[in-house]
Amino acid sequence: MNAIVPITEFQAGATSAIGRADAPAIQIERLTKRFPGVAGAVLDDVSLTIDRGDIYGIIGRSGAGKSTLVRCINALERPSAGRVLVSGREITNLYGRALRTARRDIGMIFQHFNVLSSSTVAGNVALPFKVAGLSRAEIARRIPPLLELVGLAHKADAYPSELSGGQKQRVGIARALALNPSVLLCDEATSALDPETTEQILALLRDINRKLGLTIVLITHEMHVVRDIATRVAVLDHGRLVEEGATFDVLAFPKSRVARSFLSGLVAHELPPVVASQLLPEPVAESDPVLRIVFTGEAAHEPIVAALVTQFQLQPNILHGRIDYVAERPLGVLTLVAGGAGAKLPDLLSYLASLGLTVEVIGHAIRSAVTRRHSAAR
Ligand SMILES: Nc1ncnc2c1ncn2[C@@H]1O[C@H](COP(=O)(O)OP(=O)(O)OP(=O)(O)O)[C@@H](O)[C@H]1O
Ligand SMILES: [Mg+2]
């Protein structure tokens, strides 16, 4: 039987209960899952690697296969093809006692908390210890540091009916961490919470990630959750992995249409339909190019609208835009009509690229009356 170390003795990067400490936390290799009677694959040839210490976001619309994927990680579901390795050891072919031991390395929390209403907070947190066969004295010794870690030391004797949603999720987190796992799976863990409580739970998860070196897999349909704490993100769509990368890169430069539309509430990648419907695919006699400019890092601080006016004598007209901060780095997308660009367009594009901005001509707009007047006056 594996030794169970108390949470306070946990060292970041310590050897996990199973597998190798130098292997990635989770490797998903060509995972396919079909359910009897369900047409098509619910997960279709998904491969991804989650490194130790990552907070890894998996996003996708309802029915994309997120929960199924996370249930394959702890072998609550068996894949139809492919395999999952946790700390370098294949979990998909473990059963019985070997599987139970392996699962100690993987904690899980859920949207609806799954706390036992008939037990106190301390009683709920004691459950995994009881299942693991620890003595009463040992259990009594292990509970206080866990409650301390999740900020519930003062609620040890309270029943779930006396707790807020955020406090119930803290109980869920304490219980999931009891056996000192190296991975914590969170399936929509903040989806039932109000925005302020969500922030507090995310702060707790980030704190635990840093203090314990715990790898966190965060399944969510809430993009802001990913923006706020995930180091990397994968996007699932109809069971397929359509995008994967560092969170900032996926937010700044989404490659797939589904990721772009998913991110539209956070980053202004997509134009509002009323604006998009007015864009022309090709230039006409009285049109100006419409530029989509992505600002990242230092380039976000360049006064580019002023430069367009003074250096290029343009009449820029902003159609849509937003600047946000991701991992404390500015990220903005601005869509504007480069009024009066005409033959200056190539120079203008080179100038913007030289500032480190990513620019794309996404269409053309009929020249505004103001630009027409301005051009005629010159
Ligand atoms: N045990 C099952 N038997 C049959 N079909 C299933 C089973 N579990 C999931 N599915 C189907 O697989 C698809 C993916 O479900 P899953 O729960 O993984 O989606 P999800 O991305 O977590 O969605 P949500 O955001 O709504 O939680 C759905 O079409 C669902 O109906
Ligand atoms: Mg789900």
**Residue 304 parent element (H or E):** helix 304-310
Q: Residues 54-69: pLDDT tens digits?
A: 999 999 999 999 999 9
Highest mean pLDDT among 4-13, 244-253, 265-274: 244-253
What residue ranges of the chain are covered by domains with CATH 3.30.70.260? Answer: 273-377
State how far the Cα of 269 lies from the Cα of 65, in Å rounded to an integer. Answer: 25
Q: Are 7 and 179 in contact (CB under 8 A)?
A: no
CATH (one of 2.40.50.140, 3.30.1330.40, 3.40.640.10, 3.40.50.300) for 7-265: 3.40.50.300
Instruction: Ligand 1, residue 71: give the atom nearest the CA.
Output: 18
**Pocket lining: 76 vs ligand 1, CB cutoff 6 Å:** no
- Residue 34 C-alpha to ligand 2 middle, in angstroms? 16
The fraction of the chain above a pLDDT of 70, given in percent, is 92
**Separation between Cα atoms, residue 176 and residue 141, nearest integer Å:** 17
Q: CATH 3.40.50.300 spans which residues of the chain?
A: 7-265
Amino acid at 151: G
Instruction: Please give the pLDDT value at position 337.
Output: 93
Q: Are 123 and 116 in contact (CB under 8 A)?
A: yes
Q: 42 CB less than 6 Å from ligand 1?
A: yes
Whether residue 198 has its Cβ less than 6 Å from ligand 1: no
pLDDT tens for each residue of 9-64: 433 334 444 567 789 999 999 999 999 999 999 999 999 999 999 999 999 999 99
Secondary structure (3-state) at 356: coil
pLDDT confidence bin for 259, thresholds 50/70/90? confident
Distance, first Cα to last Cα, the chain: 85
| pLDDT at residue 370, as a whole number | 65
Of 210, 219, 115, 228, whose CA–CA distance to 166 is shortest?
Answer: 115
| Ligand 1 centroid to residue 236 C-alpha, Å | 12
CA–centroid distance, 346 to ligand 1, in Å, is 49
Q: Whole-model pTM?
A: 0.84
Topology of domain 273-377, CATH: Alpha-Beta Plaits (3.30.70)
Flag whether pLDDT at 323 surpasses 90.
Answer: no
The full DSSP string for 120-182 is -HHHHHHHHHHHTT--HHHHHHHHHHHHHHTT-GGGTT--GGGS-HHHHHHHHHHHHHTT--S
- Which of 33, 67, 77 maximizes ligand 1 atoms within 8 Å of its Cβ, making it the mutation to test the pocket? 67
pLDDT in tens, 197-225: 999 999 999 999 999 999 999 999 888 89
| Residue nearest ligand 1's atom 1 by CA | 35
